[in-house]
Structure 1
Amino acid sequence: MSDAPAGMFNPIDEDLAAIGQLLFYDPILSGNRNISCGTCHNHDTFSADGVSLGIGEGGVGVGPKRVAQDGPNQIKKRIPRNAQALFNVGALEVFFHDGRLGASPDYGNGVNSPAEEFLPDGLETLLAAQALFPMTSQFEMAGNPKENEVAGAIHDRIDMAWPILAKRVRIIDEYRELFADVGVEEISIADIGNALGAFMDAEWRSFDSAYDFGSMDAAQMRGQDLFFGDAGCADCHSGPLFTDQDFHAIGLPPFGPGRTRRFDPMPRDVGRMAESDALEDAYRFRTPSLRNVAVTGPYGHNGAYATLEGIIRHHLDPLTGLDEWRPEMAQLPSVPWLQQADFIIHEDSREMARVRASLDLEPQHLSDDEIMDLVAFMGALTGKKSIYGRLGKPKSVPSGLRVD
């Protein structure tokens, strides 16, 4: 395997990562004990879930085969954003599509996060901090407030649920023994976050592609020349991770429930602006890494395009992409009671006009052959062994709950 550039990652703690592997796939960290981090970031689907907008808490199955359960606890909305792949996540400096977690002095704990000053002490990395927040999301892992004590506690304040989850882990003998072996006697939520962060960091480091080894074919080499040259892709997809970790508006067609805000319940997603409150950040989203991009579609913050050709063509001409995009291009698991509302925002002429007016991309012309060469170069960024992870999926977890 080709090595990552020096200094990009923290040293691997194998013992802590092994604990994190178990926690990553253990539903004990969800409100209703029925979903884990690994449900939506599964090894079977290359650390993502293979759909545009996934089904979180209240579903059964993994990836494109995951279905929403009917009945009194049926889901109220889809996950509002595409599940991001986790390759090289330990080297990121900002997290989530809108960058709402990153280093900052604002709250006295070194981290800007949705928990603000209530983020627990003892978290060793930004990735460890990030790992705590899916547990607090109603539609990802927590469940509805009346369903369980975790969701109810979050309804009071975001940090109130973490001690409940930490206690669940602490009272399991195997977890207690494993943590004791790494010097942790009283398991806190920070210890759980550190283990999860260590696992994700160590598990999906990926620098063993044809690009890394200089073994690309002719089409891939032509695509590389375009990528770093006339096509301008490297203006944003730069560096060894192929991301500037900055935010750009590319005019993806809106659909789904959107990441709504309390004062703005409209089913739209304004991206970075929701975090910064700066109008100039409207509809800007963090540049994704292109490592292993060929195996981690659909593409875009909402998974609007199922193919690399589709998302590349959109980048080259966003307004035409908006005009020609159709709802059937989204890969949405069937949820009959939500389908009527899935594309309401796409039919809102005023919102569509706002998206069209907020673009950081200028149209470019490439021939069909050149576009396919870019697609070929994207394939050259696919790792060999690394796409399958290091430790893989555990066969069982200490809680005894089902491993997805």
Structure 2
Amino acid sequence: MFNLCQTRYRKHHQPKQQKFTHTLSLFIIIHLIFGISQSYAFDLPKPLTLDDFITFDQRQAKLGQLLFYDKILSGNQNISCGTCHHHSLGGSDGLSLGIGEGGSGVGPKRTPGIGADKIKKRIPRNAQALWNLGAKEFKFMFHDGRLSKSDLYENGYNSPAEEWLPNGLTNLLAAQAMFPVTSQFEMAGNPKENQIAGATHDRIDHVWPIISKRVRNIPEYGDMFINAFDHIEDAADVTMVEIAEALSAFINIEWRSYDAPFDEFISGNTNALTSAQKRGLDLFYNKANCASCHSGQLFTDHAFHALALPPFGPGRTRRFDPFTRDVGRMGETDLLEDAYRFRTPSVRNVTLTAPYGHNGAYPTLESIIRHHLSPLKSLQQWEPKHANLPDVPWVSQIDYLVHDDKREMARIESHIDIKPLTLEDDEVDDLLSFLTALEGKTAHKLPLGRPYKVPSKLPVD
């Protein structure tokens, strides 16, 4: 600022060459300070800091680490949160549509089970990665945003549990942790298999007391809850709310990531990005128009968009919907204009979370980028071989019913929120290079990691 004022003061007292030299020097100084000489159609975000995340208690996070990998939270005690959101797979499972309760193993090698324990249905949507879900700016959870902050039910949230969601949940991430345990095909199990599975078909809030009793009756867990929560004086006081709070504390600290080369660049280090990454950044914020949706510090506008992703699998339907399909946000709002819209995912650490799309339709970043460039053509040319679906013969007959339904495909084709765009192959390569600059340097060295054992003594995936 001093140099700028000094230049203005002297402008009438210096030769033309000196004025040019001062102007050029000022430009260089600004370039060195901010690391940005390019103009962008969309503003570059400011760096993320700890203040951008909800606060957490380290004792609760350590407790949450154990609960996250403990199968005691599931109906048949055979699957944990970590099974489908594993450390070795970037907080996801590497599958297009996951294999939930009843399966065995982790990731692409997970098998669908045998006999009476075998799965009855694929998980309808791709297992979302967990990166930065503890950020304060998140407004919705799940692909369709069916969980959000709201006073509608006087408990702080608009959720599938409606008025039955208990009070006391301090953040959106904790509220989210309440629901996988209630899902038949994710963690609860099938009716008549266990007490939890039966309860979830009775009323959703009947599930949580059963789970919390299981947990607090293990002495090690009881002591940890008393130590981690100031208001818990006796293990008998532990509820699903405290379990969810501990899980959210763990997810918040474990998958927090903002030390990528891009973060160094926006903090002023012009050498943090390669030439290809800088060209990709320019495309991302200008010609390719990526930042119109993948905006801000977390690279998401927290909104819902219809991209005409190829449909397959059972889909997540409304209770009265007779079709094997997935209508996205409309399933929550019942508004026709929300049909086939899904929440914009963050692309931080996106290099670690293949496959891509709300149903994992595309196996590589390049393939999902090319879909964005020509969604209708890409939808029409997509082939089932692109989906990473483990072989499950007894459910495979419905895997592509929706994809073969001409009327449903026509409806999807009529709901597209993005316009076609032409990029050269080398420009796509540069975009891919930029996306690698969003991978955190410590993304493979997370603070707590996967525990080797848990208090229930059940096996850890």
TM-score category of the 2 structures, normalised to the smaller one: over 0.9
CA distance in structure 2 between the partners assigned to 1:388 and 1:52 by the alignment: 25
Q: Is 1:193 the equivalent of 2:239?
A: no
Secondary structure of residue in 2 paired with 1:259: coil
Deviation at residue 4 of structure 1 after TM alignment: 2.6
Corresponding position: 1:288 with 2:339: no
| Bigger shift: residues 18-27 or 265-274 | 265-274
Per the alignment, residue 23 of structure 1 pairs with: 67
3-state DSSP class of the match of 2:53? Answer: coil
Letter in 1 for 2:381: E
Determine the C-alpha separation between the residues in 1 that align with 2:297 and 2:154.
31
Which one-letter code corresponds to 1:116 in the other structure?
E
- Secondary structure of 1:386's partner? coil
State the Cα distance separating 1:6 from its structure 2 match: 5.4
Which stretch shows the higher mean deviation, 394-403 or 378-387? 378-387
Query: Equivalent residue of 1:140, what SS?
Result: helix
Residue identity matched to 1:332: L
SS of residue matched to 2:117:
coil
Question: How far apart, in 2, do the equivalents of 1:87 and 1:99 lie?
Answer: 17
Cα deviation, residue 117, structure 1: 0.5
Look up the match of 1:179. Answer: 225
How far off its partner does 1:376 sit?
1.0
1:149-183 deviations in whole A, cap 9, x for unaligned? 00100100111110000000010000000011123
**Which position in structure 2 is the counterpart of 1:80?**
124
Aligned in 2, Cα 1:375/1:388: closer, same or farther, shift over 3 Å?
same
SS at match of 2:443: helix
2:167 equivalent to 1:110: no
1:7 matches 2:51 = yes
Larger RCO (alpha carbons 8 Å, 6+ apart):
1
2:47 and 2:297 in contact (8 A); partners too: no
| C-alpha displacement of 1:73 | 2.5
Q: Which whole-Å CA distance do the structure 1 matches of 2:276 and 2:326 have between them?
A: 37
Match of 1:166 in 2: 212
> How far is the alpha carbon of 1:3 from its aligned partner?
6.8
Answer yes or no: is the 8 Å Cα contact 1:292–1:387 preserved in 2.
Answer: no
- The one-letter amino acid paired with 2:252 is D
1:213-260: per-residue Cα shift (whole Å, max 9, x none)? 221111111110000001100000000100011100000000001002
With structure 2 as the length reference, what TM-score do the two structures score?
A: 0.86
CA shift, 1:301, in A, is: 0.2
Residue 214 of structure 2 aligns with an amino acid whose one-letter code is R
Q: Flag the 1:3–1:135 CA change in 2: closer, same or farther, 3 A.
A: same
Taking the aligned partners of 2:380 and 2:238, their CA distance within structure 1 comes to 53
Unaligned 5+ runs, structure 2: 1-45, 266-271
Tell me the CA shift for residue 364 of structure 1: 0.5
Answering whether residue 368 of structure 2 is matched by residue 317 of structure 1, we say: no
How far the C-alpha of 1:12 sits from its partner, in A, is 2.9
The residue type equivalent to 2:438 in the other structure is: L
Q: Distance in 2 between matches of 1:7 and 1:282?
A: 36
- Residue 116 of structure 2 aligns to a residue whose secondary structure is coil
Structure 1 residue 211 and structure 2 residue 262: aligned?
A: yes
1:344 to 388, 395, 401: 401
Match of 2:317 in 1: 260
2:255 aligned partner, one-letter code: W
CA distance in 1, matches of 2:445, 2:314: 31
Per-residue CA shift, 1:21-45, capped at 9, x if unaligned? 0000000000000000000000010
Structure 2 residue aligned with 1:356, among 413, 421, 429?
413
Q: Which residue of 2 aligns with 1:398?
A: 455
One-letter amino acid matched to 1:192: I
CA distance in 2, matches of 1:316, 1:394: 42
Q: 1:25–1:309: structure 2 CA closer, same or farther, 3 Å change rule?
A: same
Between the aligned residues of both structures, percent identity stands at: 61
Amino acid of the residue matched to residue 239 of structure 2? S
- The letter for the 1-side match of 2:111 is V
1:327 aligns with 2:387: no
Q: Secondary structure at the match of 2:262?
A: helix
Equivalent residue in structure 2 for 1:34, among 55, 65, 78: 78
Distance in structure 2 (CA, Å) of the matches to 1:4 and 1:174: 36
User: Which digits, 9 at most, give the CA deviation of each residue in 1:255-284, with x for residues without a partner?
Assistant: 001002221131100000000111000000
Pick which of 276-285 and 383-392 moved more.
383-392
Cα deviations by residue, 1:277-319 (Å, 9 ceiling, x for unpaired): 1100000000000000011010000000000010000001100
d(CA) in 2 for partners of 1:82, 1:197: 20
* Structure with bigger gyration radius: 2
Alignment size in residue pairs: 403
TM-score, normalised by the number of residues in structure 1: 0.98
CA distance in 2, matches of 1:387, 1:206: 10
CA contact (8 A) 1:25 1:394 kept: yes
- Return structure 1 stretches of 4+ with deviation > 4 angstroms: none
Q: 1:130 aligns with which of 164, 170, 176?
A: 176
**Cα pair 1:43 1:388 within 8 Å, conserved:** no
SS at 1:267's partner residue? coil
Structure 1: gaps (5+ residues): none
Residue 100 (str. 1) matches residue 146 (str. 2):
yes
For 2:117 and 2:449, how far apart are their aligned partners in 1?
31
| Rounded Cα–Cα distance in structure 1 between residues aligned with 2:47 and 2:250 | 18
Bigger mean CA deviation after superposition, 382-391 or 138-147:
382-391
1:151 counterpart = 2:200: no
Amino acid at match of 1:43: H
Would you say the 8 A contact 1:46–1:388 is kept in 2? no
Are the equivalent residues in 2 in contact too, given 1:27–1:36 (CA < 8 A)? yes
- 1:344 aligns to what SS in structure 2? coil
